[in-house]
Structures are given as structure tokens and as C-alpha cells.
Amino acid sequence: MNICSFSIRRPITTLVFMILILLFGYLNLRKIGVREYPNIEVPTISVSTTYTGASSSIVETKITQQVENAVAGIEGLDNIQSTSKDGRSNVKLEFSIDRDLDNATNDVRDRVSRIYNRLPDGADLPVIRKYDTGGFPCVMISVSAPMSGMEITDYLNRYILDKFSVIEGVASVDIAGNQEKSMRIWLNKEQMAARNITVEDVENAIRTENVEYPAGRIESKFMEFPITINRQYSSPKDFEKIIISRDEQGHPIRISDIAKVVIDTKSNRRFFEANGEPSVAIQISKSQTADVIQIAKDVRAMIRTLQKSLPKGMTMSILRDESQFINDSIEEVFYSLMIAAVLVFLIIFVFIGSIRAAIITAITVPVSIIGSFIVLNSLGYTINMLTLLAMVLAIGIVVDDAILVLENIQRHIENGEPAMEAAKKGSSQVLFAVISTTVVLLSVFLPISMLPGKTGKMFTEFSVAMSASVCLSSFVALTLTPMLCSRFLRMVDKADKFNMWVENIVRKSGKFYQNVLISLLNYKKYIVMAFAAIVAVVGVFFTILPGEYEPKEDRNSIFLKISAREGAGYYVMRDYAQKILKKIKGVLDEGIAKNITTTVPGFGDADGAVNSGHINIEFINSENRKKSTFEIAAEFKKQLTEIAGVSVSPILPMGIGASGSHALQFVVGGPDYEELAQWKNIVLEELKKYPGISDVDCNYKETTPKFFVNVDKDRAGDLNISAKTIGSTLETMLGSKQVTTYIDGGREYDVILQADRESRSDMRDVSNIYVRSKSNLLVPLDNLIEIKESGTPRSLARHDRTRCITFSGNISPGYAMSDVLNYVETKVKTKLPEYAQMFYRGQSKDYKDSDGSMLFIFSLAVLISYLALASQFESFKHPLIVMLSVPLGGLGALTALYFLGYTMNIYSQIGLIMLIGLNSKHGILIVEFANQLRESGMEMREALLEAARLRLRPIMMTGISTVAGAIPLMLATGASCVSRQNLGIVEVFGGISGILLTLLVVPIGYILLNREENTQKR
């Protein structure tokens, strides 16, 4: 007794199984997380080391190389990237995507601890941190109030930030436009010199006076009282009264005599503007595995709660919400899911002509789709674009097995057999075909999850969702479908005109198809030649289609990266940003921009370099705009080239690749920076020649202006003035130094010393800064130091322990990633010496990784499918006949992509792999049924013609239902529509060509490959 017969005999048991699948599927659906894409963040660790006073070259050799050598060889380490700056080393370690981050951190900590004794004296111990690469702000909240930015910042730090940080899934909460309060003591070097005061004197006086010190305790017979000396300095007036020293007459010299003390912002080198107004905003970043949609809901709920208790006039509003685009994308896929289900149901009804039969078949859909959430949630997967796309496609696939079973049972009923007997016989007859098609589909999905890196990690959830749905659909088709057919399926009502019309069409179609095959069997040689031509055409289109990692989507935002000349100051950058804002507002149509935010300096340059910035523009949804973000970005480029002295690069965010980065990124490595500097000019020149690359740049700027201070050791030694004293004095006066803290309202704030702005606007001001000699006399620094100006690199980069330069650029409209990388490898790389090394980063690396492995995965999917069928058929010949259908689907898919202007990307590649299984099913039905007829004694030619005629309707039904399930993807609109269109086009046109050509080619192949066997039988 097989599973079909058992289900027919035990209908209650069968129904209980289905109800349990639906119940547990629904419960898991309620618990499962939601995000845009699967968790594909690369495990990353940073090792940061401070070596105060050391130049970037010393940091590179003494710190960076030591750390790199220590961590090299750790299990799962993918690459090492490092940056050496004056006084600081940062080494970033990226691991393979399946490496456990906590274990990797422990391994790194252990390796780095072994080199502590090899680090130079004066270097701090390395600090090891885990990167949260999912930590880009997902929600930004603008805060406005009738108070200063510093007061808003202080209020947020005191009362608001902690409220948002406790929301589940939030990794960090910080402030954009942070104007943190501090006590600023602005030193006047002329007044200090006149009163014989040095920086060291001021620092010592403040540190000595502003203390909180335990002073013992009073002990009585019955009580004990601890004694503490309180800090008495909490206002500018308090600090102004601190006595530094006394003059010759004994009069006190106070801080107020040589400085201005005010409460001011901790840093005046950060600028943030929202919609044209200086602003303060809360930035909320999510953790790697967090549900961004739920975080955004919780944030909005928290804002509504907090709004009731905010100070009068303070308001909060959402500036940016990443969840909106994600939510729109997922909603669009849900709509596609519903439309696909309706289309598939209608197609089944039209082909079968019975609403009762259509319902029996359609029941497979909810059981298979809802049941798949049991598997997804159990494995820790989420509802995302990939799993939902899998389910949209699965709708057209999961009904296939039920169609096979029902159509064969219906045929037996039409032949006059009782429903119960027809159900047993009909379902058993196609049992092998159902199992075979399921095995083939699973054999195709398995290699998809074997793709390396991020692509493999991402599409594992896609393949698991599809595999779970297909397995459940086969189970339903072999259990519930025959059971329902045995109870509810009836012979076609002769009085029902629609039923009779359908049956008449099916009968005539079968006869016509059989006649076509009879004719084609006389032209087998031409069919073989046509098949060879199809294979050649598929190969041509596969090579000429432009390629990219993921399709370009209009994600309703543009990121403008601003760079000025090396050495440009903070106030210059602010002016540039304002000019750029005026230009882009002239380009934008009224009302299409929701929010515009400006930040100076830009991301990654908060450590001192202020010649950068960025502007982020959030737009209304694409369907409500006349122009796409691609068209707007092109207009920006035309307008912004008119602003001299600054370069502006529009960057469109990607869904899977790194947002805020250029599409083209590659690294050139060499033996030393001098030779790399020569290669840099060659590479930049070649890149600028190619029209497909725009906004060309590199990270090696040897012209960064810098002043070098050389201490006269002999003269300084004679005066007993150390280089440390000179360096510390310059650091305080020119750079600022936090010397103590003060308490205000229960919170601690920094007290910062620095020369006033007028005293540090020119290098000649250094000559008027004094230090004290051993004879207690003030000595101007220009007597002790020599100042030289030079152009040097701001930082020194390395990749995999090789000195390197990183080049970047955008891809121009009309060009694809494949075009650009081909140019880099054939034209740029050939201009460099053979010993020059080249590595890709970012989207370029993702594309190379996926493109290089896709052909192998495609071949592996074909091989596994072939071997699976060979074991099913117990033959190596019959699976070969089935595999003839593989290139037939590729013809429709690739030609459609090419002529409709789409690209070869991860979505279209996955679609092509899926076609292997989808189109193989048609061949399986013909070959398996022909074999059954031959085993019953029918001659090969007649068996083939009869099998083709009888299997035409199920082939057409399963094939068209699969195509129908993909039509909503092909016609997708709204958020993330291009990705869905790519996948939909492959499945629709590949499915159509696969159905039509398989019906013609597979029968011819069956005759040719079985010719010798047939001759022997004769």
C-alpha cells in the first residue's frame, strides 16, 4: 500500500495532518521576523592602537604591520584592511560570512595579546571591537525647539536617548549635529606672556583646584561620618576665580586675567542641517538581526509617548525611515503573491473546466505556503524579499503535482471507472512522476544555497523557502489531493457547455499536437540542427548580456559625496555645502524632496579631516514623481560641475551592496608608496579615458598640506625644556585638551583648554607661544623649533598586508558593471607592472564573486538533476532526454532580457537555474508516461505519440500555471520592482519557450536516443 492509497482509505487522518500543518504554519508566521534581505552582514573586527606623536609611516611599520602579522592565518579570515595615520593605527578584519563573530573576536584577542611586548614604548594597548555592519542609521528624528542646539543636545542626552536605546533591536542611539555642552577656556597667548604664565601652569592650577577628594572620616562611639572635599567649580565665574600664580607684588593671577571662560559646545567642527536649517537629530541604528520595520513602529510609538512630556515648543519629527521602502517592497511582493494565486486558480479552472476540481487543486497553495513558515522560522530565517519571491514563484509550482494527480484521476473517471478506484489507480500511476519532478526541483535548489559569500548566504533562504513549499506540495498532492478526488471529483457534466467546450479544445489540441509530432518525426535531422542552433544562440546571449551584481533600483534617495581640495578648512566646506544646496534645489521639482540633510565633515572624517561632507536627499515614492533618482542624479552632475574647487559625486544606494559607496572599487597593491604614487597617475588617467566610469577618485592624497615641527634638541636641552613639554603645549593651544570635568545638574561635563581662534589662524602665531625654562624664564617656541611645510599622505592604507591605493568611481548611465570591470582588467591592469596586485572591494567584489561561481553552480545544478533522474529512471539515457529541455528555456529568458534592456544579475541568474527544474518537469512527464506505455507492450513510436497526446494537458497546465505565477513579478511596479521584473522576465519567457520547444524537441530526442534499443527489439 502506497501513501496515496493510505490517504484515500484514511480521510480523517489525512485532514488532521493538513490542519496541523496549517495551524503550526500560522503560529510560526506570527513569530517570524521581517526584514528587507536575509542577514548577510560580514563578521568584522577592528583592532585600533594609539601611538601619540608618531608619524603615519612609523605607525605603519611599528604598529600596523605587527598587528597584521599577528592575526594572519586566523581561521575564516577573508581579508585584512588597515589604515595608518599620525598617532593611530586601525586594522579591519573581515571573516567568511559563516564565521562566528564571538569566537573570531576571542581568536583575535588571543593573537594580539602575544605582541604586546613588541609594541614600541608609548603606544597604548590595542583596542579590539566587533563591527556591527548593520549599524547604519535606520531612523533619523529631527528635534526642534526655541532653544540653542547645545541646549537641545543636553536635553536629549539627559532625558531622551536612553528611552530609545531600550527598544528591542536598537544597537546604538546618537546625535547628528551633536553640540555637547562643555566649559571652554579660551586662552589669550599675549596675556599669558605678559603675566609670565604658560599652558602647563594653567593646566596644573585647574587640576589641583578642581578635585573631589576623600579626606578620611570622623569616628564617634556611635556614628561614623566620611569626609569628602567637594568640587566647588561648576560655572564660568567659578573657573575664572582659580588662581594660577602670583605676580612680583603678590597679586593673584587668575584665569580671568589670561582667558575667557564660557559654556560652549565641545566641538565647533561639526555641522548638521536639516531642510535648510541648523538642526539636531537623533540617529537610531539597528543590530544585525533586528527587524527594522518593528523598530520603526516602536520608535514612532515612543515619539508619541514622549511628545506629551517634552518642554514647551519642542517637537520631534521623522527625517528618515528606512523601514518605509522595505515595507513598500514587501507589500508589493504580497500583492504579487495574491495576484499570482488568483491567476493560477483561473488557469486551472479554464483547463479543467470544473470549479470543484480547481478548488481541490488550489488547496495545495495555502497548505504549502503557510506550512513552509514552520521550516523558515525553525531555521531562524525571516520574511524578506527573497523568501517572499520564492513563495510567489512557488504558487505556480506547488500546484503542478496536484494537477498531475487530479488530471490523471479525472481521465480515469472519464473512462468510466468509479471515483474511488480512479483515485487509487490514477494517483499511483503518476506517483513516480511526482517524486521525480520534486527530486529534480530540490536538486536545482540545493546548488543555489552553495553559492559562496554573501550571495550564497542570501539565496539560502530563497532555496529553503522554495524547497519547503515544493516538498509540502508533493506531500499534499500524494495525500490530500487523491483523497478529495475520491470523494468529490465527478465525471464531466455533458450538459455543462463550458465543460464540454474545454474538453473539446483539449481533445482537438491533443490530436493537433500528435499530428505535428508525426510530421516532425520525418525531419529529425533538421530538428537536431535547430536544437544545436538554439544552444549556440543561448551561448551568444549569455556572453553579450551586460552584467551587474544587483539591478539598479530607485530607492527614493540620493547621497551626494562632497570633496574639496586637500587642506580645505571647515568653514570653506560649510560654504561649499550651502552653494551645492542652492544648486540642487533649483533642479528639484516642487514637493518631490521630503527631506534634505547636510553634514560636514562627511562619514569617516570626524577624526580631523574636514575637507569632506555629504548631503542626503529623501524623495517621495517613485510612482508619484515624473523623474527617477537616476535622472535627477544625472541633472545634479551637470549643475554641480559649475562649482569650482569642489567635486560632488552622486551615489545611489543599493539594496544588497554597501550603501553610500561607489559601485566601482578596486585596490592596487605594490612594494612601497613611492612606486604606488607613480602608478596612481597611470591608473587615474586610464580610468578617466573610459566614458563608462565617472567620479573617479582614489584615497591616496600625497599633497595633503602639513607643517612639521622639528625641535632643536641642543638648545632645548640647555634650557631643560623637553620635547614632550613643547608637544603638549602645542596640542593644548592649537588642538584643545580636556583637563578636568565639572558637574551640572548631576551630569559631568568636560573642561577644555584651547587658544582662542584669533591666536591660531596662522602658523606665525606659534612663535608667540611660550614655555618655561629651568631658570623660570619664558622662552618663545620660535627659538626652539623649526617649522617646515610639506605635502604628505593623510593616511597609509594596506590590503592583505600589502601597501595599496584604493580607486573608486561610479558607473555611467548605459554601462554595466561587467563593462567597467572588463575595461579595468584589459586596459588598466595591463598598464601596470606584472608584480602589481589588484583586489576588488564592495559591489565590484560581490559581482566578481557571484559571476565567477555562477557558471559552476549552473553546471552543478544540471549534473545533480541528471544524476537524480538517473537514479529515478535507473537509466543514464532517459535523463539525458529530459535534460534537452534545459537550453530551450534559456532561449526565451536570455533573448527577452537582452531585447527588453535588462541585465544578467543575481536575480536573473537564479531564475535561469530555476528553469532547469521547471522545464525538466515537462520532459519527465513525456518520458515517464511513454516508458509506462512501452512496458504495457506498446511499440515505441506509438507509445511516444500517445504519451505526448495524453500528457499535453498536464504539461500545458503546469507550465502555464508556473508562468502565470511569475507574471505579477514581470509586471511589477513600485519599490524594488526592477529586481522582481528581472526574475519574472526570466521565468515567464523562459517558461513559455521551455513549454513550446520541449513539446517538440524531447519527443524527437526520445526517438533518436532509443533508436538502437527499438531496433534490437524488432
- Tell me the C-alpha distance between 429 and 925, whole Å: 11
Only one residue has cell 542646539, namely 149
For 95-154, the pLDDT digits (tens) are: 988 888 889 999 999 999 999 989 998 888 999 988 765 556 889 999 988 888 899 999
In 3D space, the residue among 518, 812, 779, 798 whose CA is nearest the CA of residue 637 turns out to be 812
Residue 455's nearest CA partner among 851, 51, 953 is 851
Whether residues 882 and 983 share a domain: the answer is yes
CATH of the domain at 779: 3.30.2090.10
User: pLDDT at position 349, please?
Assistant: 81
The answer to the question of residue 833 being in a domain is: no
Quick one: how many helices (H) and strands (E) in the chain?
35, 31
Please indicate, yes or no, whether residues 907 and 1001 belong to a single structural domain of this protein: yes
**Given this model, what pLDDT does residue 126 score?**
92
Query: Same structural domain for residues 223 and 115?
Result: no
Instruction: Give the 3-state DSSP-derived string for 716-775, with helices as H, strands as E and coil as C.
Output: HHHCCCCHHHHHHHHHHHHHCEEEEEEEECCEEEEEEEEECHHHHCCHHHHHHCEEECCC
Residues 562, 479 share a domain: no
Q: How far apart are the first and last CA of the chain?
A: 36
CA distance linking residue 448 with residue 909, whole number of Å: 10
* Residues 6 or more apart whose Cβ sits within 8 Å of residue 460: 38, 448, 449
Coil, strand or helix: which one is 195? Answer: coil
| Pair 128, 109: CB distance under 8 Å | yes
Is there a single domain that holds both residue 889 and residue 989? yes
How many Å apart are CA 863 and CA 443, to the nearest integer? 9
Q: What pLDDT does 703 receive?
A: 65
* Averaged pLDDT in 10-residue chunks for the chain of 1018 residues: 83 91 92 82 89 84 93 91 90 89 92 92 88 71 90 92 91 86 91 90 90 75 76 87 89 93 86 85 84 89 92 90 84 82 82 80 87 91 85 81 84 83 86 82 76 75 88 90 85 63 78 85 86 91 88 87 81 87 78 86 58 87 85 85 83 68 88 90 92 88 73 86 86 87 89 86 78 85 81 82 91 88 91 91 84 76 84 82 86 93 88 85 83 84 85 83 86 84 92 89 83 52
Residue 373, classified by CB atoms within 10 Å of its CB into exposed (0-12), middle (13-18) or buried (19+), is buried
Instruction: For residue 810, tell me if it sits in a domain.
Output: no
Type of residue found at 197: I
Pairing label, strands 747-755, 181-187 = parallel
Q: Is residue 208 part of a domain?
A: yes
**CB contact set of 966 (below 8 Å; sequence gap of 6+):** 340, 392, 393, 396, 983, 984, 987, 988, 991
Residue 1015's pLDDT is: 47
Q: Which of 64, 99, 131 is the last residue of a domain?
A: 131
Number of domains in the chain: 5
**Beta bridge mates, 219:** 224
Residues 533 and 477 placed together within one structural domain of the fold: no
Task: Classify residue 954: in a domain, yes or no.
Answer: yes
Q: Which helix (H) or strand (E) holds 7?
A: helix 3-9
**Is residue 423 located within the same domain as residue 395?**
yes
SS3 98: coil
* Angle in degrees, CA 915, 920, 922, rounded to 5: 115
Dist. CA 458–CA 441, nearest whole Å = 19
Q: What is the pLDDT of residue 300?
A: 93
Same domain, 465 and 535: no
Neighbours of 9 (CB within 10 A): 14
Q: Specify the CATH number for the domain of residue 950.
A: 1.20.1640.10
| Cα–Cα distance measured from residue 454 to residue 843, given in angstroms and rounded to the nearest whole number | 11
Strand ranges for 518-656 from DSSP E: 557-564, 593-600, 612-619, 646-651
Domain boundary among 741, 775, 792: 792
Give the single-character DSSP code of 136.
Answer: S
Beta pairing partners, 46: 92, 129
For residues 530 and 564, membership in a common domain is answered with no
The answer to whether residues 520 and 568 belong to one domain is no
Q: Is residue 499 included in any domain, yes or no? A: no
Are 284 and 138 in contact by the 8 Å Cβ rule? The answer is yes
Q: Which three cell numbers stand for residue 146?
A: 526655541
Exposed, middle or buried: residue 166 (CB in 10 Å: 0-12, 13-18, 19+)? exposed
| Domain contains 688 | no
Query: For the domain that residue 583 is a member of, what is the CATH number?
Result: 3.30.70.1430
- For the whole model, what pTM was predicted? 0.81
State how far the Cα of 963 lies from the Cα of 893, in Å rounded to an integer.
12
**Domain ends where: 615, 633, 653?**
653
Residue 377 within any structural domain of the chain: yes
Answer whether residue 565 is part of any domain: yes
Structural domain containing residue 406: 1-31+353-491
Look up residue 619 and give its amino acid: F
Half-sphere exposure of residue 788, counting CA atoms within 13 Å on the CB side?
A: 7
pLDDT value of residue 607: 44
- Say yes or no: 924 and 980 in one domain: yes
Residues 882, 1017: one domain? Answer: yes
What does the alpha-carbon distance between residue 534 and residue 990 come to, in Å, rounded to a whole number?
Answer: 13
Question: Cβ distance 494 to 500 under 8 Å?
Answer: yes
